[in-house]
């Protein structure tokens, strides 16, 4: 009973505060509904970014991968720091200066309407197939095990997942469709506070239990016994070999954190460039803290249960919470997980409706309609999209590689081609729209063929990076021989009242964040805490190729723009 009451209390509190904070907002205009009226400050942006990214797939999927192997999956959370710095310094000022609401809208300003619609459709497919279903499925696993739903309702595991998925999706749709971006961001921030508290409790109590109810003893055991699990430097035998950090993972993170609509939309709602940069950089430090929330619980579970204890490793995190937390705190943390699920789901749904309304419906059928009508009609489509994702979500249980791998593969399938178009649009003034559209389609088809049918003998992030270089080079070559003569320029009439003065502490904070990332990798390696007799097999060739890719794709164009 204490579990249920604490769950209902925290969930109700978040809903009440969100309502009180947003009930007087203007949600009838596109700016008010989709960009929160450009009213978001740095802390709200940081909290929303953290919760939007931290879906239940991270809690269940990444913890499971650590339990089965080592800490190499933290690459997904640590290596975003350089990408976030790049986004703040290069892309965000342009987005805010132009007053853009969506990424496809930005790309139309450089290429054409066809490019805008192609990118919008790819975003919608990615969100409906992966982002929203993964959030719901991961949340259903956690809720089922925390409340033992199958036993309480006398249902099978599969039937319980279907029920919980639809409950979570229905509640999330209410937040997203009726509260706009402001409602999503406020609820994200409140749940973020709960996550910080709850995650810290799981870590502290978990270490305490490892040490047989002695925190110091538990910490000593984790730091001195079976330390190979603490190794963040993965080799070719691990799910995340270290070399992919410099190839496909770099590109994937660039897409997710600088192109992905449901991430970028939070920063587009900033009240100023300063607040946008501040929010993103605060989120970068939260990403480091994720190691304690979603990675080290996998290490704790390994010490408590031993290897091979779970038939399905996705059950590790919710089982750990249920076993070590007092019942009243189980309910509180269930509410936090519930909030994280809703955060990701309603954030993506809000962005899905945004893209549909502004990039598809309004240009094609709503040119003579005011914002209020477009928003109302798009909400109805949002209900259909929500129902589609709730239908897809339970089928993820049949994906053999687990929930986290499913999410990343689908994201990279659509994300890499979208990133290619963004970089061409931002840095190249000669590449014509027809070349971009052709390369976009070819990249998607070829990458999908490699991922699902050909399956080369290399990590999928490696051949994704190779294909990225091939198709972006092809587009640039076409632009060399048949350049775009229209000389398009980004619009510069930003949203009224948005100050574009950069944050004065941005450079200092960026350096600190970078050093923290490097220091964490050194600590969690054979140079630090890890003791192992087995030498690491790190492919230097891939790392060298990756560094060249990073310099050619990002560094050279940036130097040319500044020249």
* Predicted confidence (pLDDT) per residue in 140-171, tens digit: 888 888 888 888 888 898 999 999 999 888 87
Q: Residue 421: which CATH number?
A: 1.20.1730.10
Closest CA to 231 of 544, 462, 535, 545: 535
* Contact between 309 and 73 (Cβ < 8 Å): no
What total number of domains does the chain contain? Answer: 1
Q: Of 338-342, 478-482, 485-489, 546-550, where does mean pLDDT reach its minimum?
A: 485-489
Cα gap 197→144, rounded to integer Å: 22
| Average per-residue pLDDT for the chain | 82
* Contact between 182 and 39 (Cβ < 8 Å): yes
Residue 280 lies in a domain: yes
Which tokens in the block code for residue 266?
């939070």
DSSP state of 270: B
Which residues constitute the domain of residue 364?
Answer: 2-533
Residue 407 lies in a domain: yes
In this structure, what are the phi and psi dihedrals at residue 489, rounded to the nearest 5 degrees?
-130, 145
Cα gap 244→93, rounded to integer Å: 29
pLDDT class of 354 with cuts at 50, 70, 90: confident
Cα gap 374→34, rounded to integer Å: 12
Q: Of 49-63, 88-102, 476-490, where does mean pLDDT reach its minimum?
A: 49-63
- Residue 169's pLDDT is 85
In this structure, what are the phi and psi dihedrals at residue 537, rounded to the nearest 5 degrees?
-105, 95
- Residue 330's pLDDT is 79
Q: Concatenated DSSP letters for 239-260? A: SS-GGGGGTHHHHHHHHHHHT-
Which tokens in the block code for residue 197?
């508290």
Sign of CA dihedral 58, 63, 64, 70: positive
Q: Return all residues near 174 (Cβ < 8 A) that are at least 6 apart.
A: none
Kindly tell me if the per-residue pLDDT of 2 is higher than 70: no
What does the pLDDT average to over 175-184? Answer: 55
Residues facing residue 499 across a β-bridge: 272
Residue 111 lies in a domain: yes
- Residue 26's pLDDT is 47
Instruction: Tell me the per-residue pLDDT of 294-304, one tens digit each, with 9 for 90 and over.
Output: 899 999 999 99
Residue 549 lies in a domain: no
Residue 481 lies in a domain: yes
- Residue 398's pLDDT is 85
Closest CA to 24 of 169, 186, 165: 186
What does the pLDDT average to over 37-61? Answer: 73
Which of the pair, 366 or 128, is modelled with greater confidence? 128
Instruction: Tell me the per-residue pLDDT of 432-470, one tens digit each, with 9 for 90 and over.
Output: 999 999 999 999 999 999 988 888 888 898 899 989 989
Cα gap 205→154, rounded to integer Å: 31
Residue 100 lies in a domain: yes
Cα gap 110→100, rounded to integer Å: 12
Kind and range of the H or E element at 551?
none
Kindly tell me if the per-residue pLDDT of 234 is higher than 70: yes
Residue 548 lies in a domain: no
Kindly tell me if the per-residue pLDDT of 33 is higher than 50: no
Which tokens in the block code for residue 511?
């350096």
Residue 544 lies in a domain: no
Kindly tell me if the per-residue pLDDT of 557 is higher than 90: no
- Residue 148's pLDDT is 83
């Amino acid at each position: 009973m204490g579990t249920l009451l604490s769950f209902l209390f925290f969930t109700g509190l978040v809903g009440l505060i969100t309502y009180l904070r947003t009930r007087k907002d203007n949600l009838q205009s596109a700016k008010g509904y989709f960009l929160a009226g450009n009213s978001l400050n740095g802390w709200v942006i940081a909290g929303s970014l953290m919760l939007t990214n931290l879906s239940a797939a991270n809690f269940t999927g990444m913890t499971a991968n650590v339990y089965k192997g080592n800490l190499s999956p933290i690459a997904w959370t640590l290596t975003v720091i350089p990408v976030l710095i790049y986004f703040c310094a290069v892309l965000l000022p342009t987005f805010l200066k132009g007053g853009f609401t969506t990424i496809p809208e930005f790309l139309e300003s450089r290429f054409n309407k066809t490019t805008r619609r192609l990118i919008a459709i790819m975003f919608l497919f990615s969100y409906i197939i992966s982002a929203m279903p993964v959030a719901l499925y991961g949340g259903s696993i956690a809720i089922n095990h925390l409340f033992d739903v199958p036993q309480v309702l006398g249902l099978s595991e599969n039937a319980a997942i279907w029920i919980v998925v639809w409950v979570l999706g229905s509640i999330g749709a209410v937040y997203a469709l009726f509260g706009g971006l402001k409602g999503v961001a406020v609820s994200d921030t409140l749940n973020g506070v709960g996550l910080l508290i709850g995650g810290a409790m799981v870590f502290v109590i978990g270490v305490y239990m490892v040490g047989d109810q002695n925190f110091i003893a538990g910490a000593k055991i984790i730091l001195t016994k079976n330390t190979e699990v603490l190794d963040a430097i993965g080799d070719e035998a691990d799910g995340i070999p270290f070399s992919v950090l410099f190839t496909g993972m770099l590109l994937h993170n660039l897409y997710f954190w600088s192109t992905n609509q449901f991430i970028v939309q939070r920063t587009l709602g900033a009240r100023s460039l300063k607040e946008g940069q501040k929010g993103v950089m605060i989120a970068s430090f939260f990403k480091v803290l994720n190691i304690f929330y979603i990675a080290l619980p996998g290490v704790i579970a390994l010490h408590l249960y031993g290897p091979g204890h779970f038939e399905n490793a996705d059950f590790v995190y919710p089982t750990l919470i249920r076993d070590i937390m007092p019942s009243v705190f189980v309910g509180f943390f269930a509410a936090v997980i519930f909030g994280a699920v809703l955060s990701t789901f309603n954030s993506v749904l809000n962005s899905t409706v945004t893209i549909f309304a502004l990039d598809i419906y309004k240009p094609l059928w709503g040119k003579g309609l005011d914002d209020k009508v477009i928003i109302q009609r798009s909400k109805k489509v949002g209900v259909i999209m929500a129902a589609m994702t709730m239908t897809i979500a339970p089928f993820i249980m049949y994906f053999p590689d687990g929930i986290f791998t499913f999410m990343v593969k689908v994201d990279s399938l659509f994300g890499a081609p979208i990133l290619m178009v963004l970089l061409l649009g931002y840095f190249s003034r000669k590449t014509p729209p027809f070349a971009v559209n052709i390369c976009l389609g070819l990249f998607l088809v070829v990458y999908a063929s490699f991922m699902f049918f050909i399956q080369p003998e290399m990590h999928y992030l490696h051949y994704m990076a190779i294909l990225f270089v091939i198709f972006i080079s092809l587009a640039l070559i076409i632009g060399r021989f048949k350049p775009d003569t229209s000389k398009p320029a980004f619009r510069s009439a930003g949203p009224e009242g948005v100050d574009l003065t950069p944050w004065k502490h941005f450079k200092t904070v960026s350096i600190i964040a970078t050093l923290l990332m490097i220091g964490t990798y050194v600590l969690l390696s054979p140079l630090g805490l890890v003791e192992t007799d087995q030498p690491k097999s790190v492919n230097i060739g891939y790392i060298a190729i990756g560094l060249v890719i990073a310099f050619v794709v990002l560094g050279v164009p940036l130097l040319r723009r500044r020249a």
